Amino acid sequence: MIPLHPDDWVTVVGEDLAEFIGAGGAMVRFVVGESPRDVSNTKQALKSLASDSRLHWFEVDGSRVRLHFPNDILGAIAEQVDFPQLMTSFLLKAVVDEGYEIPDAADEFDVRDIASMNGVKPTDIHTVVNSRIRSGIMRDRRLVRDVRYALWAIAREVLRGVPDNAAGDVPKRWLRGQVSSIRELRAFGIVQKVTRYNARGILRSVLTWLPGSEWNGSVVYIDAQQLAHPRNLRDGKIYYSRSALSDVYEVMREFIDETDDMNHVLLIFAMPRDFLSVDPRGRGMGAYQALQFRVSGFPASLPNPLSNMVLLDGRAERRRFTA
């Protein structure tokens, strides 16, 4: 596989990224570094790119999060989302879109203050935000039912002025898989616990909704370097047995196959160098052909920065790619 310089790959990925992701596009990419430094430098460049493009940045560390459980991946991402703050931005944007003024640097939603500033009744502001909640959440069929009700619950609490830690408590604990009682969920209209089987649909829904709060989308960076270790090092980090490795590769395959169902996201898997091995007895992609067929390309004489998988090397020849 012909290596690319990390800066060249990030430059190509960054072209029109905000526009593509902001318009609802989605990509899944696999990154292999010749050295840990190549991976680290690429991650920092992507993080900077996400900030410049107004994209949420989420990291999932495969040495701390079980990558063979989609619900654990969802939980790790949910930990990084400030739902009450994003919901406040979502509701403030609804008011601004209708031509109303809001306080400078507003970080909370106060119906009475906004109504007084614009010389209207509080009920007029409620009408605007309720309409946006219906159109932007409850009637958005890209979101699974339980996510719609969880977001609705957060919106209600934000409108009531409930402190952030209370407003997002149950929905966030639900997303993390920390709610043990279905009765507690039903009070919010949520009817299912998060499991490994419904987690991807819930994650897709959350990532789909996030741009409604004035962001263009998200970059999800999953560090899977831990997969390279064939033995349990007893160092407190997650060890992936042979069967767990196959499960991780199946989860990755499912994300690839569901790209058309995802919105507003660039999903990157940072893989160990051993992933390039096609030996079915090894720990690389050859150990799971269903994934290998989806990420490996045809032999080429030049590197392709747009392929599903790229090999990055800081010593590689610098290239200029043009459309």
The pLDDT of 122-146, averaged and rounded, is: 96
**Least confident residue range of 43-47, 83-87, 169-173, 212-216:** 169-173
User: What is the rounded distance in angstroms from the CA atom of residue 284 to the CA atom of residue 274?
Assistant: 5
Helix (H) or strand (E) holding 57: strand 55-61
The pLDDT assigned to 238 comes to 98
Residue 250 has pLDDT above 70, yes or no: yes
Which residue type occupies 149? Y
**Least confident residue range of 20-24, 80-84, 168-172, 198-202:** 168-172
The pLDDT assigned to 175 comes to 86
Sequence ranges of the domains in the chain: 6-55+217-312, 83-187
Read off the pLDDT band of 165 (50, 70, 90).
low
Read off the pLDDT band of 26 (50, 70, 90).
very high
Q: Specify the 3-state DSSP secondary structure of 218.
A: strand
Contact 177, 193 (CB under 8 A): yes
The pLDDT of 290-316, averaged and rounded, is: 91
Mean pLDDT taken over the chain = 93
The pLDDT assigned to 162 comes to 66
Say which residue, 131 or 298, is predicted with more confidence: 131
The pLDDT of 235-252, averaged and rounded, is: 97
The pLDDT assigned to 167 comes to 43
Give backbone dihedrals phi and psi of 64, rounded to 5 degrees, phi first. -120, -20
User: What is the rounded distance in angstroms from the CA atom of residue 90 to the CA atom of residue 132?
Assistant: 9
Closest CA to 29 of 295, 274, 316, 292: 295
Question: Does the domain made of 6-55+217-312 have the CATH classification 3.40.50?
Answer: yes
